[in-house]
A and B are shown apart, each in its own frame.
Chain A
Amino acid sequence: MRQFNALVLINEAIAPTWMHLAFEWPSNLPAPRAGQFFTVLPAMVELGAGTMLRRPLAFAGFEPEERQNRASAATDKAIAHSIYQVRGPGTRALACHVPGSLIDVIAPLGNGFPPPLLEEKAIIAGGGIGIGPVLFLAASLSKEASRRGKPEFQLVLGFRSASLIPLRAGSADDSPMAFLWKELLAQAFLTTDDGSEGFRGTVVDALSSLRDRDGSSKEWHLYGCGPGPMLASLAKFADAHHIAAHCSAEQWMACGVGACHGCVLPATSGGFLRVCADGPVFEANQIDWEASLQ
């Protein structure tokens, strides 16, 4: 991990309250993996709500350094991407950063999703703002080619309503990464809580239905990122069907590097695990999700 000032390249709305952030990645840093995160300290001024902590955000994509200039980007350096939701004073301050400004970043942090085994099919489930890391994972797998063919995967993405699906008509983001995300969204099995688009119900409801119709001979390996209740039912589903599962968890964070023990979740083995340093990706059965929701 390193702390560096990063040049903002894109900071653009892609859905109501959702932003696409892209920034230059230092050439001497290892590339982030899907599931890893960074913390950012935005410039901040808001009377009565002065924030001081860094915001932890997940990577949603990565473009390695290129020899030739990219047509649509202001840099030939590597680019890191994130999707974040504007929720409070910290993310509001981050949303005010214009391309060309600098943000203070510490990265890469935490662990990443382990890749599926050759005999496994990756079932990649994302809910709400948790779609960032799973889009990154899907993009990584789709780029990967092995002697035994491309890794098989299925994206399942859940939203509260059709109007909250990002990068639809009206989005001005025409970056190559936004294009890739749109492609992945088009391939994904979509669910909405209100049934306004795709499957009506939750991501985990959809998994039951997909499992009944799945013709693949491969074992499932579940990957999930989303709100706590979704991860809890994902873990329950994986346990009931004896499926390997990894979830990326979220918790309020202070240091982001493992020192303060603030961002813990209850472990099934007793005690607590730090989301920032022991995670954020855990085997689904490592966390006592029910206890974490209380």
Chain B
Amino acid sequence: MNGQDTKRTPSLDLDLSVRIGQLVMSNPVGVASGTFGYGEEYDELVHIDALGALYTKAVTLEPRQGNPAPRLVETPMGLINSIGLANPGVERFLQEKLPLLRRRRCAVIVNVAGSTEDEYAAVIERIEDHLAAIGPRQEERCGVDGYEINVSCPNVHRGGMSFGIDPVLIERLTRSLKGRTARPLILKLSPNVTDIADIARAAEAGGADAISCINTVIGMVIDTEKLRPAIARGTGGLSGPAIRPIGVAATYRVSRAVHIPVIGLGGIARADDAIQYLLAGAQAVQIGTALFSNPRTPHEVLEGIVGWMRRHAVQRVRDIRLMLQ
């Protein structure tokens, strides 16, 4: 293959596919929940169909307005947010957001959040009922290729973190949700726990198809002139390159604790960051905060992974996790 071909079709002879349960993603690079809306806002800036997966902003049973402003503060190579799961609720998601998601050619993973086990279950049941009612249409995908269960949002009083820190609750929730859908179930875990590997094992025992690790790290910035926290809610979730080593370490531990695939995220801004996650044991990655700096990050990261695979003579992206010495 000559150099020009390499440029035009960078992955022709490589196997970049990722398997999560029954779902096959075309490549390992997705965009993280909460940073990409439902795909509309970035339509003009990002080639969305070329993504491995789009993880939607969280969907809850009822609409949520979110937390008071200010909701953001920048930190050294990071960002603290406390959005509070602002979203239109499952009904408006189905009416207003799903039609466009059905036209995407990438895998679409719907992120689900709730305050109680029943609320998580109700969101998934409502989506499943809706999909069954509209049935398959030509030229369209189903729009929901799997669910990512958010048991790790640090920014709401009862928004999952109470689940995310308790292995018993995690196993029960996972088992309950698994019984309501045949689509892959990905549990998104919090690093704000004593032992993330314990939580991951519980998710696997409950039937999870994969683990996303990690959600944001609890953080705080104080305005020393105004003598109060920089964001309205006091503490928030820290993301961005500042937390990358935490995410890589969590991925390393979790991928050795479970047999299901791990999807790594936290601070990925360059291909090398993503490759660290893959070497640590992840089979796929998500780009979040770095999108805000450069919306082209997912494509640059994928190109970088392909270049690295060529240099290291790796043919299948899922084999990278076996290469760490």
Q: How large is the interface on A (under 10, 10 to 19, 20 to 34, 35 or more residues)?
A: 35 or more
> What separation, in Å, do the CA atoms of A253 and B70 have in the docked complex?
10
Q: Are A3 and B295 touching (Cβ within 8 A)? A: yes
> What separation, in Å, do the CA atoms of A292 and B68 have in the docked complex?
9
Q: Are B81 and A260 touching (Cβ within 8 A)? A: yes
Which one of A50-58, A186-194, A195-203, A218-226 is at the interface?
A50-58
Q: How many A-B residue pairs have CB under 8 A?
A: 100
Interface of A is mostly: loop
Q: Which residues of B contact A106 (CB under 8 A)?
A: 45, 295
Q: Which residues of A contact B73 (CB under 8 A)?
A: 252
Measured CB to CB, the closest approach of chain A to B15, in angstroms, equals: 30
Q: Which residues of A contact B68 (CB under 8 A)?
A: 266
Q: Are A264 and B69 touching (Cβ within 8 A)? A: yes
Number of B residues, CB within 8 Å of A = 36
Interface of B is mostly: loop
> What separation, in Å, do the CA atoms of A259 and B292 have in the docked complex?
10
Q: Are A257 and B69 touching (Cβ within 8 A)? A: no
User: Which residues of A from 214 to 272 have beta carbons under 8 Å from B?
Assistant: 251-266, 270-272
A169 at the interface (CB under 8 A from B): no
Q: Are B295 and A48 touching (Cβ within 8 A)? A: no
From the candidates A51, A54, A253, name the one contacting B72 in the complex (CB within 8 A). Answer: A253
Given contact pairs A106-B45, A252-B72, A262 touches B37 in the complex (Cβ within 8 A)? no
- Residue of A3, A50, A52, A277 with most partner-chain B CB within 10 A: A52
User: Which residues of B from 86 to 120 have beta carbons under 8 Å from A?
Assistant: 86
B269 at the interface (CB under 8 A from A): yes
Q: Which residues of B contact A3 (CB under 8 A)?
A: 45, 294-296
Given contact pairs A41-B293, A260-B34, A262-B83, A272 touches B42 in the complex (Cβ within 8 A)? no
From the candidates B76, B83, B292, name the one contacting A54 in the complex (CB within 8 A). Answer: B292
Closest 8 CB pairs of A and B: A259-B37, A259-B41, A262-B72, A258-B41, A50-B77, A271-B65, A257-B41, A254-B292
- Can you give 9 contacting A-B residue pairs, CB < 8 Å? A50-B77, A53-B74, A106-B45, A251-B69, A254-B79, A254-B81, A259-B36, A262-B81, A265-B69
